[in-house]
Every structure is written in structure tokens, then in C-alpha cells.
Amino acid sequence: MKVWVKILIGVVVLVGLSLGLTYFFGSSVSGNAISNGASMQSFISCLNDKDVVLFGFTGNQQVEAQLGLFENYSSGINYIDCRASPIECAGVIVHPSWKIEDRIVSSGLSLGTLSELSGCRL
């Protein structure tokens, strides 16, 4: 294979990879939501109005990462510590998990995905 073809393939792979990573990670945090406390508070208020709940264990690294997405506003999230309230977590196997519209999503979610699934704008 010619050198220029290898270079072209490499460039195409890198561009595709960077676009994919930008899409995946770029939707995880909206700059306006994080930098604007009022937007974050409105987002959390909407999640609470729609009874969106985060299930997890305090001290679990993945759960702490989910709460960390909300920065100083994480105390406003409907969060159930499954160690302290095991009955409320019946059926929840993976932590973190989110309850959105009476369904359980068993994984951590980006803010963008949480916005899409809940219908709450960032």
C-alpha cells in the first residue's frame, strides 16, 4: 500500500475518532449550564418536578461522579442512598441508576443524555 494511502486512512480514522469523542463527551456537560447557576438550578428543579431519581451508594466512585456533574448543586438532586434505604432501591442492581418516567436506566448518564431522556433543558 502506498504511503499516501496509509496517511489518508490515518487522517480519516483520527477525524472520525475526534468527532466521535467530541459527540460523546461534548454532550456530557453544557458550558452554559455549569457556568450559570440559575440554569443548573432550573435543570435540577425540572428533574425533581418529573420525579427523576438517582440511586446509588454514598462513597461509590461512579455515583460520586454523577453527583459531581451537578457541582455545588448536587444536594438538590433526588438521590436515594441504597445502603440507607434498601427498600426504596428494590430492583435496582447497577449503581448508579436513574429512574426516569417510571423506567430504570442502569448506568451513569451525561448531563446531555439526562436532559434528552428527561425532557429537561440544560
pLDDT number for residue 13: 43
End-to-end Cα separation, the chain, in angstroms: 48
Class of domain 31-118: alpha beta
Per-residue pLDDT tens digits for 68-107 = 999 899 999 999 999 999 999 998 999 999 999 989 999 9
Cell 443524555, residue?
Answer: 113
Q: Give the bridge partners for 56, in sequence order.
A: 81
Domain residue spans in the chain?
Answer: 31-118
pTM of the model: 0.70
